[in-house]
Chains A and B, each alone.
Chain A
């Protein structure tokens, strides 16, 4: 008997799922939930394990004795948000330290909301990640071709490093120009730092993110060093606690690249753990869509709707869309991440008026004080308040009855907001839901359009606390025919599921700047070096060598164009023909993404990067294997009915049937209008939609299919 454990630490709760698999292949799933315990997150971690072991009826120690523990943590993110990071010193090429203050000028605003961009008088730059006094410029220079133009001046470097150590830095980031072409100076500087201060946490940019573009690479390296010490502290404590409770295997951590990495690797490159929680949800969706074909398509848009944000992801042909940068505040940095974009729209978004216009968000009441109806001191009406007033939420069965909703207070506040527009509380609530649904759909549409896809050709997966509330409306707005609320019965453990279902994934990238025709010998050298790195890391992670599947990626662009395309190419030994094959694969993918005839081959090609991805199954958990109970039978879960206001029907009040989600059987069909209540999410089924329970326990809603 083996236990697969997935743990997701959020700001409020730590969720853990534990899957007990028996020798006959059957599996039983239990969820453990505990309050998060910042700053010592490991305590909440162990508490959630204990809760799950109790559900399985075993002692924690017995469970851990034969368990695999997989984990997505927010320690790095939290440290950044609360600015409880290490004091970092930066070593960089002389003349170029100011790159981190210049912040690419207006480039820093690229991912900021439009109202911030428009109001130039209120713009600012954030506090520097490293103050000027802790930046040291080193005499050395490497050119784009890797040539050393100025030898590393070690004597002066030593002086500079000693000065930083004297100033009390707790970590050092080293990022030199063109270290992607030649990392010799960065490595040597790291040796010198280790000589002078053996315990100091050091990251070098050619390790952290070997991509051309010094700004984003330097920020990644700094962020890595900022969270390195707190992460090391946390993982050390967690591993001690786990071992004390009988765990013997290696701890694996979720990375933003969408796979599990070894805890030691995460200690060295903690920047990879930032954003791994939302990524886990996307991995879960990819698994569900490919293994169990829930929703009937391998093209999926994911909407993770929480209290303050909507996180949007895209899966095309079963593979999550990736991007090469992530953002922290106005700082954009290189990270090999799944493309999850956050928009400030959620249950806590505040409803307000601006002249004679009603607006929802972007301000949020967040978890504290939260919506008015939660009764935790919130005073401004939110989306959740509007949903409560419309009758979408059951005041007595919210969060499985843990929160009793104060609908009257929400109604009173909405009445005040709506008054200048001549709207009643009910009308205001309906208007707010309509606006926020439209806003969320617009954000999703824009994301998918920017990625080059047509939203109508996708299935929508809607999850998170607000996933069920907005699911049908978003699908309707986007023109999607099917929307899935995945594993509704276990909604709270969704991200933890994604973690447990993840493969081990190591990506080894290298930046390169080759003009066509590319030299096969050079490419072969790089492939072999990257493959060696991948094997080394995965074997350290406990993966047998023959379980590793390699995937080779090349990043290529047309010489005079800026769009870089990541294409999967052949591995093996390259010759001129293989190089041609690489270029053909690129041109094919380029046209698919940007349109026929959009590339300019006459200018030649530039190879900007190579990557080897090594992947290996770990838990082998597949959603296809999840059995959620008996199929067929009558719908026995009708709980009663209540009056619900449907904005899509012009604010009509309809006595609407309410179903108890957990009591529904597989293949049960429910025609809208209806509401299905689960402990952690409430699913709204609009008038022309039909909901059906999938064998995985997911609710699949088909729009416009009602006879």
Chain B
């Protein structure tokens, strides 16, 4: 193993080119950013030389506990349903804004703190200055927030006049203006239709709230009183955590606490380096499409995430992503980088308990500004936050593929979980009260399959482990609706040797409503083409949907003492499927709305799945008979028992069918020869192994030995490929309903043994995708 270099690097945010100043392009500190901090700020940099491991462990625990109590203080004081669903996160940072700790809530949300704080240090430390007792506020997505609705509060910690560190929290607000209540305007042309944007300002000055600035903060909100309460809660949380850390410094000595903080960073860095060294060098890529930049567009935009691993470092860029356009598919640098660290935190650094900060020292972000995943001002970004979920799932796919290259890391990989569908109900109840809130059932989507087992049904998102589905009774108390059902979905998860966790279906109808309409906003292509990608021959999960059935016979059914198991069992005058982004579909009495929430991606070839597991899936309602037969090749008798002989011959037939698949069209596998390395075989995919063949290092099938290509080539070029309709996946709908660009299902298998290697949902004009190019 190569020597580790634990010396802190600052490459993670360094952007030497000019233009990253938070005005048009996002703010990114340059490596010399500290030279622009005012002389008035005295950084506390003294650290104890040698902190014993016991003191370290004691302090680490205490910092963790303080950070959790910081969050508890916020939820307790605010009493807000938004913050109670844990749509926030909190962190502890060093004096120069490295994240020492964050929390198990929405991982992405802390990405703004290190950026926003460095911006404050660079630009505000002279005037208005940074003093003991101050708290800064910011929701500028080009500086320190993922989108405007997740507002950052950052409190400097002073010890004996020196800036010791920071505590910060970022939390979602009810409303901060913009053209649609709630802050996800799916029809914003640009940022001027979005909620208000506030660059960092000092809201609390030496312990006193600035009334004038508070008024500015609240003025554009439709619910200023409630936003004011949450504001106080977020400030109280930061004040509490700051006080606790000062007390810790008084007790143990600030240099000792600082040494422990640095060591936490170093440990995260070291752990990350060690894991990266287990993975071969190369570039992994994931392409995801985002539907409709604006309602009615009927076109998807392309994003691409490229992660290059070299030694113990990562270079991450967004080359291949479409340029920004009017509309709401863009995310700023904060969300993009946060989506990556969020996934690293839960998949590669879970032992650090969300103290992932030091890992960022190993990452060089090289985004091209002006592309959809690193948009410039004034592109709209508030509604785009959902696309950060798609980016997290892209990162999940990429890191999982990388982790499959090492037997230990493979145990920790997870296929992506469902993407995010956000229907918002707006209207008046029969007492004349306005309501306008999202149905957050997407928080009960399925998780992705693992390398050793199935994903978890209705688990909630991997990137925010504690996000919850609320009780139906609680929701019916708030909004004038009746849930007809909320149940686990059939065929909603990606099929595979290990299947994804299934998602759910919920159906509602108005009850005691004066009026009601539905606004939809959707991540990726999660209602048109697919939800979560699968891994290594596992299928993606199919798209969810928003279906409205108008003028149903529900009332008659109910009068007959019957409730529907499915909206399809009702008669209706009209059935409308809503688009990814849509505005104001009316839901009247007797109308029914069904939300289908996706499952997780599958892992491995489904015809390798143990037939008795498929039988159990069918009996439990997670997989249909049709899918058992067409996807898994499992045949059940009329009585619902397993027919082993028929299953074996069905699976043979499926392999036979695959043997007629073609060499990928339009791709001439120019072979790059890499000499044999003399190293042992190394698995780089569930079914692909790097191995020496004669004097050449090649990629070959780990099951039958068939050689696909040279070590540095795209293994898919040496595989057989089939392109068909997305509807080959049971219950998938026709993407052409949503999208004018043809979208297809591409599958690849081994020419030797027909094991399925990869399944993709891509635009028909998409060239052969290279998910992994080793170097």
List the interface of chain A (C-beta within 8 A of B). Answer: 93-99, 101-107, 109-110, 114-115, 117-125, 132-133, 139-141, 143-145, 149-153, 156, 177-178, 180, 212-216, 354-359, 421, 431, 434-435, 438-439, 442-443, 445-446, 449-450, 452, 513, 557-558, 560-563, 593-595, 597-600, 602-603, 606
Contact = CB atoms under 8 A, between A and B. Distances in A.
B444 A94 contact: no
B467 A449 contact: no
Contacts, number: 243
A308 to B, nearest CB: 19
A557 B474 CA distance: 13
Which 6 residue pairs spanning A and B have beta carbons closest together?
A95-B485, A107-B468, A561-B79, A105-B460, A106-B460, A105-B444
A139 B562 contact: yes
A568 B683 CA distance: 65
A152 B487 contact: no
A497 B44 CA distance: 54
B572 interface: no
A212 B476 CA distance: 11
A452 B76 contact: yes
Contacts of B72: 446, 449-450
Contact of A598 (B77, B464, B476): B77
B65 interface: yes
B350 interface: yes
Contacts of B460: 105-107
B561 A99 contact: no
A143 B350 contact: no
By CB atoms of chain B within 10 A, which of A354, A355, A599 has the most? A355
Q: Which of B72, B353, B469 has the most CB of A within 10 A?
A: B469
Given A446-B68, A558-B79, A144 B476 contact: yes
A666 B78 CA distance: 49
A119 B350 contact: yes
B465 A109 contact: yes
A119 to B, nearest CB: 4
A145 B482 CA distance: 12
A346 to B, nearest CB: 16
A95 B466 contact: no
A124 B473 contact: no
Contact of A95 (B233, B350, B512, B565): B565
A445 B65 contact: yes
B473 A177 contact: yes
A358 B466 contact: no
Contact residues of A: prevailing secondary structure:
mixed
B721 to A, nearest CB: 30
Contacts of B483: 95-96
B79 A105 contact: no
Residue of B411, B412, B487, B565 with most chain A CB atoms under a 10 A cut-off: B487
A117 B68 CA distance: 13
Given A98-B486, A177-B472, A150 B79 contact: no
A107 B69 contact: no
Contacts of A215: 471
Nearest to A144: B476
B76 to A, nearest CB: 6
A595 B65 contact: no
Contact of A150 (B346, B472, B563, B619): B563
Interface stretch (B55-63, B297-305, B308-316): B55-63
B468 A104 contact: yes
A358 B60 CA distance: 11
A606 B414 CA distance: 42
Nearest to A360: B57
A119 B409 CA distance: 12
B83 to A, nearest CB: 9
A513 B226 CA distance: 22
B59 to A, nearest CB: 9
Interface residues of B, number: 85
B233 A598 contact: yes
A599 B76 CA distance: 11
Given A119-B350, A121-B413, A435 B57 contact: yes
Contacts of A561: 78-81, 229
Contact of B485 (A96, A124, A216, A597): A96
Contacts of B470: 104
A279 to B, nearest CB: 23
A145 B68 CA distance: 38
B353 A118 contact: yes
Contacts of B459: 105-106, 123, 125
Contacts of A152: 561
Contacts of A443: 65
Contact of B461 (A106, A124, A156, A357): A106
A595 B232 CA distance: 10
Contacts of B329: none
Contacts of A421: 53
Nearest to B349: A118
Given A121-B414, A123-B465, A446-B69, A212 B76 contact: no
30 contacts: A95-B565, A96-B483, A98-B458, A103-B458, A105-B459, A105-B468, A106-B459, A107-B466, A107-B468, A109-B466, A115-B350, A118-B346, A119-B351, A120-B462, A123-B456, A132-B619, A141-B563, A143-B482, A144-B477, A150-B558, A212-B477, A214-B471, A214-B472, A439-B61, A446-B68, A561-B229, A595-B236, A598-B79, A600-B79, A606-B477
A658 B432 CA distance: 75
Nearest to A431: B54
Contacts of B78: 561, 598
B488 interface: yes
Given A119-B350, A594-B77, A560 B468 contact: no
A136 B698 CA distance: 56
Contacts of A97: 487
Contacts of B229: 561, 598, 600
A98 B464 contact: no
B222 to A, nearest CB: 13
A140 B466 CA distance: 32
Interface in B563-587: 563-565
Given A98-B504, A450-B69, A141 B444 contact: no
A562 B84 contact: yes
B347 A139 contact: no
A562 B74 CA distance: 13
